[in-house]
Each structure stands twice: as structure tokens, then as C-alpha cells.
């Protein structure tokens, strides 16, 4: 079975220090949490950024500061920027991090109700525009899919030439408005992606570790981190993203799955572009 790529989503756009004091806001805190995850076994950092007061931002300048700070403490780690941002941001605002030529970026493949009046909007035209921008800059997209219809949307864009093979998916399971987080649901989603694709599973809240176990057993990859869940166990806040990653490493060890290094993860995902590779070529 392929080695396991662990992604750490270290802060997200919504979770706050009131929920867990270790949630990072500042550049220094974000670098600290990225390093804790990398040291524990994460090959890939899924990156949102915040202002010092915790306000989510897609500012190119803020992303540049955070990405450089992470590269200083863990230069080998894969950086995957979010183009999801936060609910209510414009498309152009969300696209700013692509200007920094990261190796990877998220591509949300549909609109989703997040509860109450919150709607995460991704029209078909927006998805195509985001895909074209990534393709132009040779940024590998990770298709963020909250239900089966979003997988189908990505497949259609692939057939029309907007997305290249092999595709990589992130199944976001258990979010309000999306597909549930059960073994049946994950088997259904994994069976829906085209042959040759890779996939990661992100279980939200209490679903994080049950879905991680399923992902390990099924040959997929796993995402954990404060964006999706701030608890190590029921009622026990995680002290760092590294603690969450370390738990997945322990589970994978018990189940006989080896952990991918960043170099191995790049080979599995077919990463050849971005600032990291530009630096390596010099």
C-alpha cells in the first residue's frame, strides 16, 4: 500500500483561541504550529492565514510572510494555500495567494450551506476561473469536495481540459451542509473518483480520527488539524497541531501503514512546480 501523506490544516479561517488557546494567529504562531505538525510527521501544510487579532485574510502580503516563516523552520514541507478563504470573500480576494506560486492550492468544487445564513459560494464560472489560474501557474489543485456532486463537477472540468490528470481530491466529511462522515459515505466517495486519482479524507469535529482510521485502511491519505478539530480526545484540547498529527502516526503504525516524507509525498502527488522546485533548480 502507498505510504500515507498526512496533511495538517493548522488554523483555518473560523476556529478561534476561545475554542483552543493554541490556535495560531500571528506569523510566529503559524510557523510554530507548522513546525510542530511537520516534526510529528506531516508532509503537507494546508495554509490559511490570519491577522494578529485572528481575522481571516487572503492578503498576498500576509501569506508571503507566513510562507517564508514556515520555510525557515521546515523548508522541505509542502505548502498548500487555501483559495477558499472565509465565507463572504470575493473571488479575486480569495485568489491572491496564487500570485506566490505555491506548489499546491485548494479548489473548491461547489457551493455549500454552512449553517444558518452562511453559504460558501463557488459558482461554475468561479471554479473554472480558479482552475485556469492554477493551470497557468502550474499549481497543483486539490479538489475540495463536500459531496458526490462536487466530485462530478471536477470530473467534468477534467474532461473539458481545465484540470489535468492525475487529480487529487480532499473529501470533507461531516461538515454542516455536506456529506456525512460514515464508513459507507467514505467508501462511496472514494469509489466515485477517476482511476489514477489520489484522495485525502478530512473528518470534521469528532469525526476526525474515525475518518482518519478509515482513510489509513482504505489506502487514502489523511488530514488533521485545528481547522477541522481542536480536540485530541473527547474533552481533551490538543496542545498543538503536532499532537493531532502524532496521533495519526500512532494509528498508522498500529495498522501497518508507513508515513510519507515530503519528498515521497511530492512523488505520489506528482508535484513539479511552485517556489520549492524553483529554489531546488537554482
pLDDT at 281: 53
Residue 191, number of CB atoms within 10 A of its CB: 10
Query: CA torsion, points 46, 210, 4, 243, in degrees to nearest 10?
Result: 60
What whole-number percentage of the chain has pLDDT above 90? 94
What backbone torsions phi and psi does residue 142 show, to the nearest 5 degrees?
A: -105, 120
Band (115; pLDDT cuts 50, 70, 90): confident
The residues near 125 (Cβ < 8 Å, ≥ 6 apart) are: none
83 close to 107: Cβ distance less than 8 angstroms: yes
pLDDT in tens, 117-165: 889 999 999 999 999 999 999 999 999 999 999 999 999 999 999 999 9
Using a cut of 0.75, tell me whether the model's pTM lies above it. Answer: yes
Q: In this structure, what DSSP letter does residue 141 have?
A: E
What whole-number percentage of the chain has pLDDT above 70? 97
Residue 235, sorted as left (phi over 0), alpha (psi -120 to 50) or beta, turns out to be: left
Tell me the C-alpha distance between 13 and 19, whole Å: 13
Region 62-82: what's the mean pLDDT?
98
CATH topology of domain 6-281: TIM Barrel (3.20.20)
Residue 17 C-alpha cell reads as 483561541
pLDDT in tens, 193-218: 999 999 999 999 999 999 999 999 99
Question: Does residue 90 carry a pLDDT above 90?
Answer: yes
Q: In this structure, what DSSP letter does residue 196 have?
A: T
Region 182-189: what's the mean pLDDT?
98
Residue 10 C-alpha cell reads as 493548522
Domains of the chain by residue range: 6-281
Question: In the predicted model, what is the mean pLDDT of the chain?
Answer: 96
Question: Does residue 190 carry a pLDDT above 90?
Answer: yes
In this structure, are strands 231-233 and 221-224 parallel, antiparallel, or unpaired? unpaired
Residue 13 C-alpha cell reads as 479561517
Query: CA torsion, points 126, 132, 133, 134, in degrees to nearest 10?
Result: 110
pLDDT in tens, 241-282: 999 999 999 999 999 999 999 999 999 999 987 766 666 655
251 close to 41: Cβ distance less than 8 angstroms: no
Amino acid at each position: 500500500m502507498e505510504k500515507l501523506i498526512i496533511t495538517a490544516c493548522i488554523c483555518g479561517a473560523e476556529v478561534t483561541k476561545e475554542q483552543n488557546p493554541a490556535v495560531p494567529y500571528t506569523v510566529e504562531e503559524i510557523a510554530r504550529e507548522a513546525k510542530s505538525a511537520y516534526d510529528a510527521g506531516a508532509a503537507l501544510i494546508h495554509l490559511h492565514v490570519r491577522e494578529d487579532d485572528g481575522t481571516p485574510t487572503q492578503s498576498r502580503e500576509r501569506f508571503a510572510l507566513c510562507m517564508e516563516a514556515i520555510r525557515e523552520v521546515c523548508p522541505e514541507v509542502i505548502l498548500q494555500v487555501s483559495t477558499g478563504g472565509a465565507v463572504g470573500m470575493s473571488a479575486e480576494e480569495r485568489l491572491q495567494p496564487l500570485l506566490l506560486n505555491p506548489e499546491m492550492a485548494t479548489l473548491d468544487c461547489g457551493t455549500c450551506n454552512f449553517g444558518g445564513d452562511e453559504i460558501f459560494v463557488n459558482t461554475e464560472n468561479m471554479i473554472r476561473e480558479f482552475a485556469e489560474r492554477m493551470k497557468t501557474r502550474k499549481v497543483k489543485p486539490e479538489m475540495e469536495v463536500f459531496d458526490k456532486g462536487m466530485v462530478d463537477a471536477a470530473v467534468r472540468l477534467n474532461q473539458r481540459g481545465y484540470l489535468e490528470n492525475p487529480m487529487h481530491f480532499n473529501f470533507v466529511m461531516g461538515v454542516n451542509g455536506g456529506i456525512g462522515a460514515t464508513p459507507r459515505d467514505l467508501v462511496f466517495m472514494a469509489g466515485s473518483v477517476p482511476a489514477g486519482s489520489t484522495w485525502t479524507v478530512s473528518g470534521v469535529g469528532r469525526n476526525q480520527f474515525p475518518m482518519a482510521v478509515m482513510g489509513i485502511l482504505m489506502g487514502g491519505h489523511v488530514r488533521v488539524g485545528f481547522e477541522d478539530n481542536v480536540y485530541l480526545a473527547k474533552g481533551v484540547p490538543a496542545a498543538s497541531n503536532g499532537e493531532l498529527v502524532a496521533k495519526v502516526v500512532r494509528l498508522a503504525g498500529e495498522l501497518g501503514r508507513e508515513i510519507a516524507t515530503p519528498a515521497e509525498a511530492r512523488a505520489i502527488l506528482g508535484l513539479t512546480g511552485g517556489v520549492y522546485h524553483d529554489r531546488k533548480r537554482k
